[in-house]
């Protein structure tokens, strides 16, 4: 029987599946960098104090995109086209989650509600990212090719999650608690469906590249659907709870560089 560790090892060991994995990751991180950069530029006057943290968030996401592209270059690979059905960020936007790119392209200040929406969306998606990187760190934290990248990105994602908790709690104390909880719940339930669909699509592409037998592909798909069902029944609550993080002011300084991945 295969395990999550062996599954990821199989993807990393094959050039084409590794190329697709890194390309999907790089694309998503780069989109996140652009979004945060635009949000930082459009913050309303009441939230201008957030500008350095939002900028830092975007710089981290850009850095992650560069790291995944550097991993491709180190193996002599070029980025692959990202299949539309695996584009997590785009599919979330289509479900009305987060701030629409059309709004971010305008040179109009955002509202305080927009900032709550951005932070709630980030709290949910950063939970997913932090969980994924924690799993990859457990499996590949010491891997000679990807270990350093995994550890660095995992540390950043934990910082991003801490930042979202702290800022949402600040806004809740300012009287926005009910709005925050409503948006968090809507984001979490939509994200669960998008993550399920993207996971199924990614595994379908990987299965074809790696020529998985139908039985293996079927078990993986069933596992993805079962996890989604659990999250929809009650697991979503871990994505909407708020607590003061141990890492206070996690994005209060400049973004760390990654010269070894340049």
Q: What angle do CA 11, 12, 13 make, to 5 degrees?
A: 95
Distances (CA, A) of 76 to 68, 69, 112, 181: 13, 11, 45, 46
The whole-number pLDDT of residue 261 equals 56
Q: Model confidence at 1, in pLDDT bands (50, 70, 90)?
A: low
pLDDT per position as a tens digit, 220-262: 999 999 999 999 999 999 999 999 998 899 998 666 666 655 4
Residue 35 has pLDDT above 70, yes or no: yes
Q: Write down the pLDDT at residue 259.
A: 62
Structural domain range at position 214: 4-243
Residue range 89-103: mean pLDDT, rounded: 91
- What are the tens digits of pLDDT across the range 171-206? 999 999 999 999 999 999 999 999 999 999 999 999
The angle that helices 15-42 and 177-210 make with each other, rounded to 10 degrees, is 160
For the stretch 12-22, pLDDT in tens is: 999 999 999 99
- Tell me the C-alpha distance between 201 and 87, whole Å: 10
Q: What is the pLDDT of residue 137?
A: 94
Domain assignment present for 259: no
- The answer to whether 18 touches 75, Cβ cutoff 8 Å, is yes
Total Cβ atoms within 10 A of residue 84: 9
Does residue 173 lie within any of the structural domains? Answer: yes
For residue 50, being part of any structural domain is answered with: yes
Rounded Cα distance between 16 and 75, Å, is 11
Q: What is the mean pLDDT of the chain?
A: 93
Q: What's the pLDDT tens digit per position in 57-93?
A: 999 999 999 999 999 999 999 999 999 999 999 999 9
Domain count for the chain, please give it: 1
> What is the per-residue pLDDT for 83?
95
Residues 6+ apart with CB under 8 A from 43: 50, 51, 54, 109, 110, 115
In a domain, 191, yes or no: yes
pLDDT at position 101: 93
Q: Which candidate, 188, 183, 169, 191, places its Cα nearest to that of 245?
A: 169
Distance CA 38, CA 59 (A): 12
Residue 256 lies in a domain: no
Looking at residue 255, its pLDDT comes to 66
What CATH number does residue 117 fall under?
A: 1.20.1260.10
pLDDT in the model for residue 260: 59
Is residue 51's pLDDT more than 60? Answer: yes
Indicate the pTM of the whole model. Answer: 0.92
Residue 262 domain-assigned?
A: no
Please state, in angstroms and rounded to a whole number, the distance separating the CA atoms of residues 17 and 37.
Answer: 30
Q: Is residue 251 part of a domain?
A: no
- Is residue 260, in this structure, part of any structural domain at all? no
- 69/61 Cα distance (integer angstroms): 13
């Amino acid at each position: 029987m295969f395990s999550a560790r062996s599954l990821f090892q199989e993807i990393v060991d094959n050039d084409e599946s590794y190329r697709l994995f890194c390309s999907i990751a790089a694309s998503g991180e780069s989109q996140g960098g652009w979004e945060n950069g635009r949000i930082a530029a459009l913050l309303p006057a009441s939230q201008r104090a957030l500008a350095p943290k939002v900028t830092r968030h975007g710089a981290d996401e850009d850095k992650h995109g560069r790291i995944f592209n550097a991993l491709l270059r180190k193996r002599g690979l070029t980025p692959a086209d990202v299949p539309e059905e695996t584009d997590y960020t785009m599919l979330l936007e289509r479900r009305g989650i987060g701030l629409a790119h059309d709004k971010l392209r305008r040179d109009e200040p955002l509202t305080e509600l927009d900032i709550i929406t951005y932070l709630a969306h980030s709290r949910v998606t950063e939970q997913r990212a932090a969980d994924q990187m924690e799993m990859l760190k457990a499996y590949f934290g010491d891997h000679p090719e990807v270990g350093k990248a995994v550890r660095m990105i995992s540390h950043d994602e934990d910082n991003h999650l801490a930042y979202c908790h702290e800022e949402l709690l600040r806004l809740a104390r300012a009287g926005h608690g009910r709005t925050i909880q409503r948006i968090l719940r809507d984001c979490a339930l939509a994200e669960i469906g998008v993550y399920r669909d993207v996971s199924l699509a990614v595994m379908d592409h990987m299965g074809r590249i790696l020529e998985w037998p139908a039985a293996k592909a079927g078990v993986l798909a069933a596992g993805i659907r079962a996890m989604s069902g659990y999250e929809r029944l009650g697991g979503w609550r871990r994505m909407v709870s708020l607590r003061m993080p141990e890492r206070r002011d996690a994005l209060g300084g400049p973004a760390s560089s990654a010269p070894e991945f340049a």
